[in-house]
Amino acid sequence: MKKFLAQSYIWLLLAMLYAPIIIIAIYSFTEAKVLGNWTGFSLELYKNVFGGGLNSSLMKAIQNTLSIGILAALLSTMLGTVSAIGIHNLYGRKRKVMTFLNDIPMLNPDIITGISLFILFIAVGVSQGYTTILIAHVSFCTPYVILSILPKLRQLPANTYEAALDLGATPAQAMRKIIIPQIKPGIISGFILAFTLSIDDFAVTLFTKGNGGIETLSTYIYADARKGGLTPEIRPIMTLIFITVLILLIIINIRSMKNTKK
Amino acid sequence: MRTFKRSYWALPYLIFMLLFVALPLVMIAVYAFTDSSGAFTLANFTRFFTTAEDLHTFAYSIEISIITTLLCLLLGYPAAWILSNSSLNRSKVTVMLFILPMWINMLIRTLATVALFDFLRLPLGEGALIFGMVYNFLPFMIYPIYNTLNKMDKSLVEAAQDLGASPVKVFTKITLPLSKSGVMSGIMMVSMPTISTFAISELLTLNKVKLLGTTIQENINNGMWNYGAAIALIMLVIIGITTLFSEGERENESGGLL
């Protein structure tokens, strides 16, 4: 009985957490303009998403979200990998300073990250747009990449790098053949993490996008919601994003479970 | 000598961080203490502490943040406790189910909450705001508590039981004190974003209720950068103090969200 109550409590909480998402998913299969009106089952909205029936500004916003996500993930993964190896070889106070700096973007609320970068950009007179969004995203994604690589570096058997050098490998070879392959799982998880963080971001993008009219999916949705009506096609897009994130997370988790088993 | 060289690899990142993390924060402080012509002034702060509307918003944000954090703790602790006591494999999957919604864009989640309230024909407003906050941040409470409870040495509980402690005593004397660091992490992770959010309140109350984040955003949008920076600095100081205060209690949960 006690166990039953406990289980029902968990399921109740989960139902509460998922109810809004499920409603969006259900209403993505009807054509009604207003969410909450059911006008019969239809795949029209999905057809619009894939058949080019989207308005061009929404299309552009999706493209921006994806290209910024991929670029930010690539850049922060490269920066993060190099830095993680550097930090791993730091000791004492230097290491403390680096970990402290690395923690700041993760502890900062995103509105502070956004405003601080906004003020920096206006102070030095940089016009804001695609590049400033990208810089902002790299700045808050890299710490997470580093955190997913550092544990892998710690698990490396000691002195394999030095052993490779003693056996005649150049430092570049030792890095490419010894270190990188062994920390690869961390690098890949870091990349996926950075990608999801970037496409998920709203507040930082809002403050760093400037007035040039560039939008990502989240700032587009925000502007749309403020005007009152939500473009119906957002419903299938949200549903698709949810499923994509679900798949990505399952991949990351299976990877990390496999690694712990080893 | 070789290890010395590899440590240089952190250098580009150090420069990047100084430029795009440390310097921007310094710039907030600079703007907060200057007027639009760049001269030193305290006017931004005196304005904040003498404007009734902004002070009210400030107090209200803290109130909403405390309510949300308490509700998350009340709902989340039992859930974390139940999860840590169920068999390992199943609880791992269930924990993932709790974390999953967190990876959906916050705006989308909030709009979905609006949809839910419309669907149930409930009015938007303060109630919706608190539900939306709890909905958005509950996973941040459950996860760290679950982690500490999971790492806890279960034999301590058994020992207390064998020595005749009642279930209530076991909980208050063993489980609760041992999970304190997780609870502190959870409180931090929920209260920080609730104090700074702005879109959630806008969407869930049809812009009737203003939170501190909204005030900052409005000022920045209207070109009052110095005043906006001053409020942001006040928020930053509050967050800094809370972080320092809880640092001692907090276990290092870094990188633990996945």
Q: CB A23 to CB B94 under 8 A? A: no
Does residue B251 register a pLDDT over 50?
Answer: no
Residue A66 lies in a domain: yes
Q: Which is more confidently placed, A85 or B199?
A: A85
Which tens digits make up the pLDDT trace of A185-222?
Answer: 899 989 988 998 898 899 999 999 988 889 999 899 88
Grade residue A259 by pLDDT with cuts at 50, 70 and 90.
Answer: low
Q: Is A156 on the interface with B (CB under 8 A)?
A: no
Q: How many domains does chain A have?
A: 1
Cβ atoms of B80 and B139 within 8 Å: the answer is: no
- Mean per-residue pLDDT of chain B: 85
The whole-number pLDDT of residue B1 equals 45
> Does the beta-carbon distance from B258 to A104 stay under 8 Å?
no
* pLDDT score, position B123: 86
Q: Is residue A179 part of a domain?
A: yes
CATH number at residue A222: 1.10.3720.10
Alpha-helical runs (H) found in chain B: 2-7, 11-17, 23-32, 43-50, 52-85, 88-99, 106-119, 126-151, 154-162, 167-170, 176-178, 180-196, 199-204, 212-221, 225-247
The pLDDT, as a whole number, for residue B257 is 41
Residue B110 scores a pLDDT above 70: yes
* Banded pLDDT at B85 (limits 50, 70, 90): confident
Q: Which residues contact A76 (CB under 8 A, 6 or more apart)?
A: A137, A138, A141, A142, A145, A190, A194
Residues of chain A positioned with their CB less than 8 A from the CB of B86: 6
In this complex, the residue of B79, B138, B243 whose CB is nearest that of residue A9 is B79
Asked whether the beta carbons of A230 and A35 are under 8 A apart, the reply is yes
Is A25 part of a structural domain of the chain? no
pLDDT of residue A134 exceeding 90, the answer is: yes
CA distance B45 to A214: 33
Across the interface, which of A35, A117, A217 has its CB nearest the CB of B24? A117
The pLDDT assigned to B7 comes to 80
pLDDT tens track for B128-175: 999 999 988 898 899 889 888 888 888 888 888 888 888 888 888 888
Model pLDDT, residue B258:
37
Identify all chain A residues contacting B98, using CB atoms and an 8 Å cutoff: 13-14, 17
B203 contacts on A by Cβ (under 8 Å)? 225
Find chain A residues with C-beta within 8 A of B31's C-beta: 119, 123
**Cα separation values, B64 from B95, B209, B245, Å:** 26, 11, 21
| Mean per-residue pLDDT of chain A | 87
Tell if the pTM clears 0.90, that is, is over it: no
| Predicted local distance difference test score (pLDDT) of residue B253 | 43
Q: Which residues of A touch B229 (CB under 8 A)?
A: 115, 119
**Are A86 and B108 inside 8 Å of each other by CB?**
no
Per-residue model confidence (pLDDT) at position A33: 78
Decide if B10 and A98 are in contact by the 8 Å CB cutoff.
yes
pLDDT of residue B208: 82
List, for residues B196-233, the tens digit of each pLDDT value: 888 888 888 887 888 898 899 999 988 899 999 999 99
- A98–B14 CB contact, under 8 Å: yes
- B196 → closest Cβ in A6, A111, A218: A111
Please answer yes or no on whether A148 and B94 come within 8 Å at the CB atom: no
| Residue B89's pLDDT band (cuts 50, 70, 90) | low
How distant, in Å, are the alpha carbons of A27, A28, A31 from that of A41?
9, 9, 8
Where does the pLDDT of residue A261 fall: very low under 50, low under 70, confident under 90, or very high at 90 and above?
low
Q: Do B115 and A241 touch (CB under 8 A)?
A: no
What residues of A are in contact with residue B11 (Cβ under 8 Å)? 86
Report d(CA A161, CA A183) in Å as an integer. Answer: 13
A87 lies within 8 A of chain B by CB = yes
B29-to-A47, B16, B41, B50, B232 alpha-carbon distances in Å: 50, 20, 12, 20, 9
Question: What domains appear along chain B, each with residue ranges and CATH number?
Answer: 60-209 (1.10.3720.10)
DSSP assignment of A183-231: HHHHHHHHHHHHHHHHHH--HHHHHHSTTS----HHHHHHHHHHTSPPP
Residue B107's CB is within 10 A of a number of other CB atoms, namely 24
Q: Tell me what the mean pLDDT of segment B69-87 comes to.
A: 90
- A112, A200, A206 ranked by CB distance to B103: nearest: A200
Least confident of A28-42, B10-24, B36-50: A28-42
CA dist A90 and B79 (Å) reads 40
ipTM value: 0.84
CB contact under 8 A, A13 and B112: no
Out of A36, A202, A238, the one facing B199 most closely (by C-beta) is A202
Strand partners, B34: B40
- The answer to whether residues B107 and A225 touch, using CB atoms and an 8 Å cutoff, is yes
Q: Which of B24, B126, B257, B27 is nearest to A101 (CA)?
A: B24
The range of the structural domain enclosing residue A183 comes to 56-261
Question: Percent of chain B, pLDDT > 90?
Answer: 31
Both tokens of B119, joined, read: 């669907």
